[in-house]
Amino acid sequence: MDILEDSIEPFCILDRTKYFWNYINFNYDYAPMPALDLSINESVDEYFEIIAKEYVNKYSEIYLLWSGGIDSTAVLVSLMKARKSKNQLIVFYTSSSIEEYPWFYNEYKNEIKFELIDRSIWVGYWLEWRLKYKNNYILLDGIPGDQLFTTARWVVGSNDSSLLANPKWHQHKIFKGSAKHAKRDWHDMLLDNSFTFGKNIYEKQLVIDMMDEHIDHNNIHISNAYHFFWWLIFCFGFHKMTCNFAKHENTFHFNHKGFYNHKLMQKWSMYVHHKNLLPMENISDHKLPFKDYIYKFTNDSNYKDNKEKKASTELWLNDAWEKKLNLLDNNNNYIRAVEETDLSNYVKYLNENKVKINIKKYPNKSIKTLKNEKIIWQENLKNHEWDWIKHFKDKNDFSLALKLCEENAWIARTLGAKKERRKFKSCKTLILVGSGFWPYSLFDIYKQYPNIKKLIGIDYDKKCVKISQFLVKESKIDDRINIICANGKDFDYTNLNHEDLVFLSCDIKETEDIFNKILTTSRAGVYICEPKSKWITNKIKKPS
């Protein structure tokens, strides 16, 4: 059956955030990804232990499909540590599993109930026979571990011939033999001719614009190409990897779960990518947190230091993919869905079918033109503030700075656009970097949210700071607002907690450096006060 011909659903990508579904009517339900949680710990170790204990306490028998790779080995280690008895854990393996990690098999074969899968028949039939009469059991595997980092098609840097031989993976690799490529700006990476996200500059720019909107909407920080390609497969490739058994008539009834398909693991993944905490100095750093976890149990430094990504040994599924039943929607129709590698075709489809895409308002403007317009807009904002200050002077009443400040100004609008204004209610400290002559956005928050005890404006321009401090004084504002002369890049953010908020003004020059410093030195949420569509349609009201 050809899924593309027989589907009556709209052409769609399986976006777990459901953001792309705003453009079409897509009739399919599944568990969405959790919200970004800044209280998550950087270390993944405790989450392995928590999840393993959940399974051990719930099921009398736990079956694990072990490939010998990093993901399933880390799962095996966690279950070995948590199990109540040797008989509670049964590990299914193939000869390829031993080839991938012979040391582990030989070291622990007497401590684990290993059971060799009969490869003379299709593994689905073998598993059906093996689990047919089981009741209180769970079948686990190392899926979707790749999706917590990024998959092989993006991180081909190993010497594994089976990976390098795959032209689809080879042309998309981001490491290219050197981890420095993973640190490139993802916009530049996509515009590179070696990538196939679009056949020309126009198609590439469509993808870039739409993904900018997608990332902004989900309030995730993507600092480089590595994190971008993680975001692609975490959003668009995660779900399909969790339902391989559900796609086949002989295996859909299994009580099966991917170990990493757990909210804690997903939250951990989102946190470390958002904060740019994963090491990327060498290709061997890929999945280092998982390898560290294994090493703490095995003391096998060779596996930790030298294990590289190999073609996935979901060998038990390779032949199943040819027989699988494709996903059905809520009306039992086949879904016409695409993977993250087809993102450019999907965006092109939306464009050609005149589906409303917000980012297409200015398709004929060059990037240089847009940048020039942005600079003009930023200058207009400064002039706008100065016009108001002159207005206060003409009226001989500088307390008007508080009385006439715009309601729901930049700071409020930024969270409002993301439907996250609830965060103001739990915030204790709010910082605006680049507060300018007249910090009207801070004044607005001061009036709306008395629960925020510290409102701090930062600006490196001494003239701006003096004028702002004067306006605060003349408005008889209490000590909740404090204007400081400092460079946002040098300011100390370490005392901020996860409920605190930092906003970067649209006209500061070192946005990326400041953004990264806040992310890496504090738990605060950080936002840029610059909705992308606003700097084209400048509608600044002048004082009357």
Determine contact, residues 169/156, Cβ cutoff 8 Å: yes
In angstroms, what CA-CA distances link 358 with 210, 266, 350? 8, 29, 11
CATH of the domain at 395: 3.40.50.150
Domain identity same for 378 and 353: no
Count of residues for the chain? Answer: 544
Q: Give the whole-number percent of the chain exceeding pLDDT 70.
A: 68
Does residue 459 lie in a domain region?
Answer: yes
Per the structure, the complete domain to which residue 14 belongs is given by 1-28+187-222+327-359
Long-range contacts of 76-80 (CB under 8 A, 24+ apart): 76/112, 77/48, 77/293, 77/294, 77/297, 77/298, 78/48, 78/49, 78/51, 78/52, 78/293, 79/52, 79/55, 79/140, 80/108, 80/111, 80/112, 80/297
Does residue 127 lie in a domain region?
Answer: no
Least confident segment among 268-272, 287-291, 353-357, 363-367: 363-367
The predicted model scores a pTM of 0.66
Nearest CA to 263 out of 510, 526, 3, 34 is that of: 34
The per-residue pLDDT for range 377-429, each reduced to its tens digit, is 555 566 667 777 888 888 889 899 898 888 888 899 888 877 778 889 899 99
Domain identity same for 349 and 428: no
Does residue 503 lie in a domain region?
Answer: yes
Nearest CA to 231 out of 241, 240, 222 is that of: 222
Does residue 441 lie in a domain region?
Answer: yes
Question: In the block, which residue shows the tokens 């969790």?
Answer: 242
- Two tokens at 194? 């070696």
Please name every residue paired with 501 in a beta bridge, in sequence order, or none if there are none. Answer: 430, 525
Domain identity same for 386 and 410: yes
Q: Side chain identity at 404, as an amino acid letter? A: L
Helices (H) and strands (E) in the chain, counts: 23, 12
The per-residue pLDDT for range 199-238, each reduced to its tens digit, is 677 677 778 877 888 888 888 888 888 888 899 889 887 8
- Two tokens at 378? 């930023």
pLDDT value at 126 more than 70: yes
Domain identity same for 347 and 489: no
pLDDT value at 279 more than 60: yes
Domain identity same for 439 and 504: yes
